[in-house]
Amino acid sequence: MTTTFEPRSIEERANYLNVDYGWKSWLFTTDHKRIALLYLFSITAFFLIGGAFAVGMRLNLVTPGGLFEADTYNKLFTMHGIIMVFFFLVPSIPAVLGNFLIPIMIGARDLAFPRINLLSWYIYVTGGLFTITAAFEGGVDTGWTFYAPFSTTYSNTHVILTAMGVFVAGFSSILTGLNFIITIHKMRAPGMTWGRLPLFVWSHYATSIIQVLGTPVIAITLVLLALERVLRAGIFDPALGGDPILFQHLFWFYSHPAVYIMILPGMGVISELIPCFSRKAIFGYNFVAFSSVAIAVIGFLVWGHHLFVAGQSMYASTVFSLLSFLVAVPSAIKVFNWTATMYRGSISFETPMLYAFGFIGLFTIGGLTGLVLATMALDVHLTDTYFVIAHFHYVMVGGMVMAYLGGIHFWFPKISGRMYPEGWAKFAALVVFVGFNLTFFPQFLLGYLGMPRRYHAYAPEFQVLNVMSSAGASILGVGYLIPMIYLFWAWRHGPKAPQNPWGAKGLEWEQSPTPPPTFNFNTPPVVTEEAYNYAEEAPLG
Amino acid sequence: MSGLSLFPPNASTTAGEVDALYSFVITVSVIMTILIFSCVFLFAIRYRRRSGNERPKAIHGSLVLEIAWSVIPFAIMLVFFAWGTKLYYKNYVPPENTLDLYVTGKQWMWKVQYPGGQREINELHVPTGRPVKLTLASEDVIHSFYVPAFRIKHDVVPGQYETLWFQATTPGRYHIFCAEYCGTGHATMGGWVTVLDPVAYEAWLSGGASGGSMQEQGEKLFQQYGCVTCHVLDQKGRCPSLRNVFGHAVALDDGRTVIADEAYVRESILNPNEKVVAGYKRDIMPVFQGQIGEEGLLQLIVYIKSLSNPASTGAVGKAVSGKAVSGKSATKGSTK
């Protein structure tokens, strides 16, 4: 055996991944990038569990009579909703991509409070364990909305344990939001002015505001729910002198803004992808940035549109309807600006851009059908039907999950130092797009025909559309599995990623090595130009 | 029953109006969608990357465009809003002279009471050509009464009365669904509304009644629960007379004034000490919370309503029986 001195390869260069391999180096890490990966794996696990519940639901709905017992189905949709909303959608982009990228994008070594960041993950996992335990102990059947007095008095399932999980996970959300706000305020590199912040950071700033201000309200609501269930406190159940509509106001005061927690980070991802693959500065930077803040602010004032048929005063409903139209304007501004960004650009069609196209298409449909529901006379007919299900899945899955996948592919080289197989990735994007539309478009039609949501069995005339939806769901499921497989493979076996495979702008590509070292930069970054300055060449790897 | 029809059956006066509004909103939305998608497709093809070293010039934005694509869509949305709100108000506030039916939701069935005393479960019969007002009550959790063919729905909330009105146009049988998740049997908490032409409806009504009208049943309960001993009609007893109370203003002992509507009467039966009439003592009337079911409450309300409705047959009894008579004789002549 001879020992030779070879130059260190890229792989051997110290980065956040190879700095240490022990399990302690992961579970006790305070590196925002490693914490982002902890989130990535736990969120993917929750996505698989939540997805498995969805598979059960679509399977049940193939026949009008339903394949499962009513109680089983009721638990399936409840667990699907709770896990997907609180343990996948709310943390997905912020806790994974936001965690990984925000410090690098603004030129910081880490988040402002690295240990609180790790604490957030432990809190999130603890909350998740509560809820998963409830699921394995027999589940919960209240719907993710926990409406009283059903949840407080009538349900015989694990309401408190599940609600406890959501309550606990809420603190993770609050701490992450707090961490982001302070980091963005205090830790920007020299030259990184507010007007130069990547729009991804702006959208996370807006998201964090909602997380910090809104999440305590759901926490209080769930505590009251538990008090009512255990001590018969008489807050929500009219038989005890309470008011069930109060629960709905409290619940939606958080849960409508929470919809924006879920979609704003997705919009942030799209605002990065489109300039990069159009090689062009974002059109109307200020409008895209401030529309995020506008959504966060107005989003707090529209919750009453969930109560148009609940017995709310019709004048209150009128105000909520008007504000709901108003909140659509900043979303529309974003879509128009993304489209305008492509004008006279140099557009290429790598996988992340395909997801961006998918996002614009599906989010547009999801947004416009939101206008249908904001129109009160139509909402009377459509609320609590499949039209609503289709609408929010177009926004949440068509929008948010598309953006998440687009972002994961875009930053995969940055995160792993490897390239994914482009052919497979394009194929999977197509499968997801086709499967998604086949799953959820028929549900718009079902909704207008009057099929209510949360039905384990339905009238026979609804079968054709339900079978189409279930068929689509099976395609969609395959579409989601393919990236999980090839990304897992590429993590070890993909070709080494160049420094900047997309020729993208931004500190994370231009000044931070790929993959980044533990403290992100070898030399302290300085920002000298606007974001998205694609007119000048970015250093290619 | 075409599996791929886009609209449910149209069987109420408002169904066509809702469909028209829906078609308008959808048409405008499709135009918007086509506009955006065409731009995206057009740009994607026209400006596709032809060589790797293309560096297009930056376009930083345009204030005129930003204002245009904020203001114009919002103006269009205001049309949706105005139209939708107008129709919502119309469908929210019942007209005068409705046929009043009473629906109680419970896990997992709909119980319907007719003024004539007929009762049904998961079936509702209504005539064409006449506005029908449903008073909705729940015995347990929140339900939602939904008839897609009428394009109307309203939550049925325990502890309060909600109302919903419609006017059926086309005879036939249409789905009733529960639209608010209410537990195990939610999906099977459905039924049928049968719309009959007025002649057939009269024939149907004459077939089914037993045990007296709702008003008579209410009167029976009024005696059975002993209400009559204190609420002596047309006299100042230990409790106020209920003559001409319903629909009128009532002065309370804390200085407030309320209109005696269904909700007030309901509350005053279940929790009498919540709102005590000026000049009367608290804690005299027993609390009936948990003692009387929702259906019985509705019967009592119909009865109390009849004591102050000069237009109804109840007024006949009032006129005939004159002043200081007991509740029993006061409504003796009130049945049809």
**Which candidate from A153, A335, A535 shows the least CB-CB separation from B55?**
A535
> In the prediction, which pLDDT does B53 show?
84
Contact between B303 and B335 (Cβ < 8 Å): no
Q: For residue A154, how many other CB atoms are within 10 A of its CB? A: 18
> Dihedral of CA A31/A37/A40/A45: which sign?
negative
What is the DSSP secondary-structure string of A168-232?
HHHHHHHHHHHHHHHHHHH-PPTT--GGGS-HHHHHHHHHHHHHHHHHHHHHHHHHHHHHHHHH-
For residues A498 and A412, give the distance between their C-alpha atoms in angstroms, rounded to a whole number.
12
Q: Which amino acid is at B65?
A: L
Whether A149 and B49 lie within 8 Å, measured CB to CB: no
**Which candidate from B6, B22, B178 shows the least CB-CB separation from A378?**
B22
Pairing of strands B99-106, B131-138: parallel
| Average predicted confidence (pLDDT) for chain A | 94
Give the chain B residue whose CA is nearest to the CA of A141. B183
For residues B17 and A154, give the distance between their C-alpha atoms in angstroms, rounded to a whole number.
38
For residues B334 and A224, give the distance between their C-alpha atoms in angstroms, rounded to a whole number.
49
> Across the strands, what pairs with B145?
B154, B178
Contact between B133 and B94 (Cβ < 8 Å): yes
> In the prediction, which pLDDT does B334 show?
36
Tens-place pLDDT, residues B20-72: 999 999 999 999 999 999 999 999 999 999 988 888 988 999 999 999 999 99
Whether A238 and B8 lie within 8 Å, measured CB to CB: no
Whether A329 and B70 lie within 8 Å, measured CB to CB: yes
> In the prediction, which pLDDT does A303 show?
95
Whether residue A149 is preceded by a cis peptide bond, meaning omega within 30 degrees of 0, is yes
List of residues 6+ apart from A211 with CB closer than 8 A: A94, A173, A174, A176, A177, A261
List of residues 6+ apart from A406 with CB closer than 8 A: A269, A270, A273, A351, A352, A353, A354, A355, A356, A358, A359
B212 vs B324: which has the higher pLDDT: B212
Is residue A2 helix, strand or coil? coil
What is the DSSP secondary-structure string of A251-265?
HHHHHHHHHHHHHHH
> In the prediction, which pLDDT does B331 show?
36
Tens-place pLDDT, residues A270-310: 999 999 999 999 999 999 999 999 999 999 999 999 999 99
Strand order in the sheet with B131-138: B119-121, B109-113, B99-106, B131-138, B162-167
Could you give the ipTM of this predicted complex? 0.92
**Among the listed residues A242, A260, A70, A86, the one whose alpha carbon sits nearest the alpha carbon of residue A163:** A86
Residue B251 reports pLDDT greater than 60 = yes
Is residue B120 helix, strand or coil? strand
> In the prediction, which pLDDT does B329 show?
35
For residues A173 and A170, give the distance between their C-alpha atoms in angstroms, rounded to a whole number.
5
For residues A63 and A460, give the distance between their C-alpha atoms in angstroms, rounded to a whole number.
8
> In the prediction, which pLDDT does B307 show?
86
Contact between A291 and A202 (Cβ < 8 Å): no
> In the prediction, which pLDDT does B4 show?
65
**Is the CB of B56 inside 8 Å of chain A's CB atoms?**
yes
Whether A283 and B43 lie within 8 Å, measured CB to CB: no
Whether residue A515 is preceded by a cis peptide bond, meaning omega within 30 degrees of 0, is yes
B152, two tokens: 């109307």
Contacting residues of B for A280, CB less than 8 Å apart: 56, 58-59
For residues B14 and B239, give the distance between their C-alpha atoms in angstroms, rounded to a whole number.
44
- Tell me the pTM: 0.91
Is residue A437 helix, strand or coil? helix
Q: What is the mean pLDDT of residues B79-83?
A: 97
Contacting residues of B for A372, CB less than 8 Å apart: 22, 25-26, 29
> In the prediction, which pLDDT does B240 show?
86
Residue bearing tokens 């002198």: A241
| Average predicted confidence (pLDDT) for chain B | 86
**Res. B292 pLDDT band, cuts 50 70 90:** confident
**Which candidate from A70, A317, A328 shows the least CB-CB separation from B77?**
A328
DSSP-derived letter for residue A84 is: I
**Is the CB of A158 inside 8 Å of chain B's CB atoms?**
no
For residues A76 and A52, give the distance between their C-alpha atoms in angstroms, rounded to a whole number.
9
Residue bearing tokens 């996988």: A351
For residues A466 and B148, give the distance between their C-alpha atoms in angstroms, rounded to a whole number.
18
Tens-place pLDDT, residues A194-250: 999 999 999 999 999 999 999 999 999 999 999 999 999 999 999 888 999 999 999
List of residues 6+ apart from A270 with CB closer than 8 A: A334, A338, A356, A359, A360, A403, A406
Most A CBs within 10 Å, among B18, B59, B161, to test the A interface: B59
Give the chain A residue whose CA is nearest to the CA of B67. A333
Longest Cα–Cα distance of chain A, Å, equals 86
Tens-place pLDDT, residues B129-138: 999 999 999 9
H-helix segments, A343-398: 351-374, 376-382, 386-393
The answer for A 301-330 residues in CB contact with B (under 8 A) is: 308-311, 314, 317-318, 321-322, 325-326, 328-329
Q: For residue B203, how many other CB atoms are within 10 A of its CB? A: 10
Per residue of chain A (541 residues), give pLDDT as tens: 444 444 445 446 789 998 888 999 999 999 999 999 999 999 999 999 999 999 999 999 999 999 999 999 999 999 999 999 999 999 999 999 999 999 999 999 999 999 999 999 999 999 999 999 999 899 999 999 999 999 999 999 999 999 999 999 999 999 999 999 999 999 999 999 999 999 999 999 999 999 999 999 999 999 999 999 999 999 999 988 899 999 999 999 999 999 999 999 999 999 999 999 999 999 999 999 999 999 999 999 999 999 999 989 999 999 999 999 999 999 999 999 999 999 999 999 999 999 999 999 999 999 999 999 999 999 999 999 999 999 999 999 999 999 999 999 999 999 999 999 999 999 999 999 999 999 999 999 999 999 999 999 999 999 999 999 999 999 999 999 999 999 999 999 999 999 999 999 999 999 999 999 999 999 999 999 999 999 887 555 4
Whether B73 and A463 lie within 8 Å, measured CB to CB: no
Tens-place pLDDT, residues B136-169: 999 999 999 999 999 999 999 999 999 999 999 9
Q: Which amino acid is at A37?
A: L
Is residue B135 helix, strand or coil? strand
CA atoms within 13 A on the CB side of B175: 25
CA dihedral B195, B197, B202, B203 (to 10 degrees): -90
The answer for A 252-311 residues in CB contact with B (under 8 A) is: 278-281, 283-287, 308-311
> Across the strands, what pairs with A10?
none
For residues B219 and A446, give the distance between their C-alpha atoms in angstroms, rounded to a whole number.
46
**Is the CB of B59 inside 8 Å of chain A's CB atoms?**
yes
